[in-house]
Amino acid sequence: MEIILASKSPRRNEILKKAGYEFKIIESSFNESTTLSSPIETCKYFALEKAKDVFNGLQNKENVLVLGADTIVYLDGKILGKPKNEEDAKKMLQTLSGKAHYVYTGYAIVYKDKIINDYDQTEVIFNTLNEEIINEYVKTGSPLDKAGAYGIQDDFNLVKEIKGSLNNVIGLPIEKINIELNKIIKKGL
Protein backbone atom coordinates (compact mmCIF):
# COMPACT_ATOMS: atom_id res chain seq x y z
CA MET A 1 0.00 0.00 0.00
CA GLU A 2 1.27 3.43 -0.92
CA ILE A 3 0.65 6.35 1.43
CA ILE A 4 0.61 9.88 0.05
CA LEU A 5 0.72 12.93 2.31
CA ALA A 6 -1.21 15.79 0.69
CA SER A 7 0.96 18.43 2.33
CA LYS A 8 4.38 19.98 1.91
CA SER A 9 4.52 20.85 5.62
CA PRO A 10 7.91 19.78 7.00
CA ARG A 11 6.30 19.35 10.41
CA ARG A 12 3.64 16.91 9.17
CA ASN A 13 6.31 15.10 7.18
CA GLU A 14 8.47 14.72 10.31
CA ILE A 15 5.60 13.48 12.51
CA LEU A 16 4.56 10.87 9.93
CA LYS A 17 8.18 9.70 9.50
CA LYS A 18 8.71 9.44 13.28
CA ALA A 19 5.60 7.25 13.44
CA GLY A 20 7.37 4.82 11.10
CA TYR A 21 5.47 5.37 7.85
CA GLU A 22 6.98 5.47 4.39
CA PHE A 23 5.13 7.85 2.12
CA LYS A 24 5.29 10.21 -0.83
CA ILE A 25 4.39 13.86 -0.74
CA ILE A 26 2.08 15.41 -3.30
CA GLU A 27 1.00 18.94 -2.43
CA SER A 28 -2.67 19.73 -2.87
CA SER A 29 -3.72 22.67 -5.00
CA PHE A 30 -6.96 23.16 -3.03
CA ASN A 31 -7.62 26.85 -2.32
CA GLU A 32 -8.38 27.50 1.37
CA SER A 33 -10.25 30.74 0.78
CA THR A 34 -13.58 29.91 2.44
CA THR A 35 -14.31 29.25 6.08
CA LEU A 36 -17.34 27.43 7.40
CA SER A 37 -19.43 28.20 10.47
CA SER A 38 -17.13 26.47 12.98
CA PRO A 39 -13.41 25.80 13.32
CA ILE A 40 -14.10 22.05 13.48
CA GLU A 41 -16.11 22.00 10.27
CA THR A 42 -13.56 24.28 8.56
CA CYS A 43 -10.48 22.19 9.39
CA LYS A 44 -12.26 18.90 8.55
CA TYR A 45 -13.49 20.35 5.23
CA PHE A 46 -10.05 21.71 4.27
CA ALA A 47 -8.36 18.40 5.16
CA LEU A 48 -10.91 16.44 3.12
CA GLU A 49 -10.69 18.72 0.10
CA LYS A 50 -6.87 18.55 0.14
CA ALA A 51 -6.92 14.74 0.30
CA LYS A 52 -9.61 14.44 -2.42
CA ASP A 53 -7.76 16.90 -4.66
CA VAL A 54 -4.59 14.77 -4.56
CA PHE A 55 -6.46 11.43 -4.76
CA ASN A 56 -8.53 12.54 -7.77
CA GLY A 57 -5.36 13.64 -9.57
CA LEU A 58 -3.74 10.20 -9.34
CA GLN A 59 -3.46 8.02 -12.43
CA ASN A 60 -3.49 4.80 -10.44
CA LYS A 61 -5.78 4.76 -7.42
CA GLU A 62 -5.32 1.08 -6.54
CA ASN A 63 -3.57 0.37 -3.23
CA VAL A 64 -3.14 4.10 -2.59
CA LEU A 65 -4.18 6.05 0.46
CA VAL A 66 -4.05 9.86 0.65
CA LEU A 67 -3.79 11.69 3.97
CA GLY A 68 -4.76 15.35 4.15
CA ALA A 69 -4.65 17.65 7.18
CA ASP A 70 -5.43 21.22 8.13
CA THR A 71 -4.67 23.07 11.36
CA ILE A 72 -6.62 26.01 12.75
CA VAL A 73 -5.96 28.24 15.75
CA TYR A 74 -9.18 29.47 17.37
CA LEU A 75 -9.44 32.29 19.91
CA ASP A 76 -12.47 34.22 21.17
CA GLY A 77 -14.74 33.07 18.35
CA LYS A 78 -12.22 33.82 15.59
CA ILE A 79 -10.07 31.60 13.39
CA LEU A 80 -6.48 32.80 13.28
CA GLY A 81 -5.01 31.65 9.98
CA LYS A 82 -1.53 32.21 8.66
CA PRO A 83 -0.44 35.84 9.00
CA LYS A 84 -0.34 37.99 5.88
CA ASN A 85 2.92 39.67 6.89
CA GLU A 86 5.13 40.50 9.89
CA GLU A 87 2.75 43.14 11.28
CA ASP A 88 -0.14 40.67 11.14
CA ALA A 89 2.01 38.06 12.91
CA LYS A 90 2.84 40.55 15.69
CA LYS A 91 -0.86 41.39 16.16
CA MET A 92 -1.78 37.70 16.38
CA LEU A 93 0.92 37.00 18.95
CA GLN A 94 -0.16 40.03 21.01
CA THR A 95 -3.73 38.74 20.89
CA LEU A 96 -2.67 35.25 22.03
CA SER A 97 -0.39 36.57 24.79
CA GLY A 98 -1.44 35.36 28.24
CA LYS A 99 -4.58 33.64 26.94
CA ALA A 100 -5.89 30.15 26.35
CA HIS A 101 -6.97 29.15 22.85
CA TYR A 102 -7.74 25.97 20.92
CA VAL A 103 -5.89 24.29 18.10
CA TYR A 104 -7.94 22.06 15.82
CA THR A 105 -6.42 19.79 13.21
CA GLY A 106 -8.77 18.15 10.78
CA TYR A 107 -7.57 15.07 8.96
CA ALA A 108 -8.90 13.04 6.06
CA ILE A 109 -7.90 9.66 4.73
CA VAL A 110 -9.12 8.91 1.21
CA TYR A 111 -8.71 5.48 -0.39
CA LYS A 112 -10.70 3.38 -2.86
CA ASP A 113 -14.28 4.55 -2.36
CA LYS A 114 -13.83 5.28 1.34
CA ILE A 115 -13.31 8.45 3.34
CA ILE A 116 -12.37 8.97 6.97
CA ASN A 117 -12.72 12.58 8.10
CA ASP A 118 -12.19 13.61 11.73
CA TYR A 119 -10.30 16.09 13.91
CA ASP A 120 -8.44 16.56 17.19
CA GLN A 121 -8.55 19.49 19.62
CA THR A 122 -5.88 20.76 22.00
CA GLU A 123 -6.08 23.65 24.43
CA VAL A 124 -2.98 25.85 24.45
CA ILE A 125 -2.25 28.44 27.12
CA PHE A 126 0.23 31.15 26.17
CA ASN A 127 2.73 32.86 28.42
CA THR A 128 2.43 36.63 28.64
CA LEU A 129 4.69 37.88 25.84
CA ASN A 130 6.43 41.21 25.85
CA GLU A 131 7.05 43.26 22.72
CA GLU A 132 10.74 42.31 22.63
CA ILE A 133 10.02 38.55 22.52
CA ILE A 134 7.32 39.03 19.88
CA ASN A 135 9.64 41.13 17.68
CA GLU A 136 12.55 38.67 18.06
CA TYR A 137 10.31 35.74 17.19
CA VAL A 138 8.73 37.42 14.17
CA LYS A 139 12.22 38.38 12.87
CA THR A 140 13.03 34.65 12.57
CA GLY A 141 10.37 34.35 9.84
CA SER A 142 9.01 31.20 11.44
CA PRO A 143 5.57 32.58 12.35
CA LEU A 144 4.77 33.59 8.77
CA ASP A 145 3.82 30.12 7.52
CA LYS A 146 1.92 28.92 10.60
CA ALA A 147 -1.68 29.19 11.71
CA GLY A 148 -1.91 31.61 14.62
CA ALA A 149 1.60 32.91 13.80
CA TYR A 150 3.43 30.42 15.99
CA GLY A 151 5.04 27.01 16.04
CA ILE A 152 4.94 25.32 19.42
CA GLN A 153 8.13 23.46 18.45
CA ASP A 154 10.09 26.68 17.90
CA ASP A 155 12.75 27.61 20.47
CA PHE A 156 10.83 30.50 22.01
CA ASN A 157 9.11 30.36 25.37
CA LEU A 158 5.64 31.11 24.00
CA VAL A 159 3.52 28.40 25.58
CA LYS A 160 2.83 27.95 29.27
CA GLU A 161 0.76 24.75 29.04
CA ILE A 162 -1.01 22.43 26.63
CA LYS A 163 -3.97 20.18 27.35
CA GLY A 164 -4.09 17.47 24.71
CA SER A 165 -1.88 16.29 21.87
CA LEU A 166 1.35 18.17 21.17
CA ASN A 167 1.44 16.57 17.69
CA ASN A 168 -2.00 18.04 17.01
CA VAL A 169 -0.67 21.53 17.75
CA ILE A 170 2.34 20.89 15.51
CA GLY A 171 -0.04 19.90 12.69
CA LEU A 172 -0.83 16.17 12.63
CA PRO A 173 -2.73 14.31 15.37
CA ILE A 174 -0.77 11.11 14.76
CA GLU A 175 -2.24 9.38 17.81
CA LYS A 176 -5.71 9.34 16.18
CA ILE A 177 -4.39 8.87 12.64
CA ASN A 178 -2.33 5.83 13.72
CA ILE A 179 -5.49 4.09 14.90
CA GLU A 180 -7.21 4.69 11.55
CA LEU A 181 -4.19 3.69 9.45
CA ASN A 182 -3.69 0.49 11.46
CA LYS A 183 -7.35 -0.49 10.88
CA ILE A 184 -6.95 0.09 7.14
CA ILE A 185 -3.65 -1.80 6.96
CA LYS A 186 -5.08 -4.77 8.88
CA LYS A 187 -8.05 -4.93 6.49
CA GLY A 188 -5.58 -4.92 3.61
CA LEU A 189 -6.83 -1.72 2.01
- Residue 169 has a pLDDT of 96
d(CA 18, CA 56): 27
- Residue 189 has a pLDDT of 56
- C-alpha dihedral (61, 118, 176, 4), degrees to nearest 10: 20
Q: What is the pLDDT of residues 42-87, one digit of tens each?
A: 999 999 999 999 999 999 898 999 999 999 999 999 999 889 999 9
- Read off the pLDDT of each residue in 90-109 and give the average, rounded to a whole number: 98
- Domain ranges, residue 46: 2-187
User: Is the sign of the CA dihedral 152, 153, 158, 164 positive or negative?
Assistant: positive
Q: What is the pLDDT of residues 173-185, one digit of tens each?
A: 999 999 999 999 8
Please report, for the domain that includes residue 31, its CATH number.
3.90.950.10
pLDDT band at residue 21 under the 50/70/90 scheme: very high
- Residue 155 has a pLDDT of 81
Query: Pairing between strand 78-80 and 64-75?
Result: antiparallel
- Residue 168 has a pLDDT of 97
Q: What is the pLDDT of residues 113-160, one digit of tens each?
A: 899 999 999 999 999 999 999 999 999 999 998 999 999 999 899 999
- Read off the pLDDT of each residue in 101-111 and give the average, rounded to a whole number: 97
Active-site positions? 70
Domain count along the chain: 1
pLDDT band at residue 33 under the 50/70/90 scheme: confident
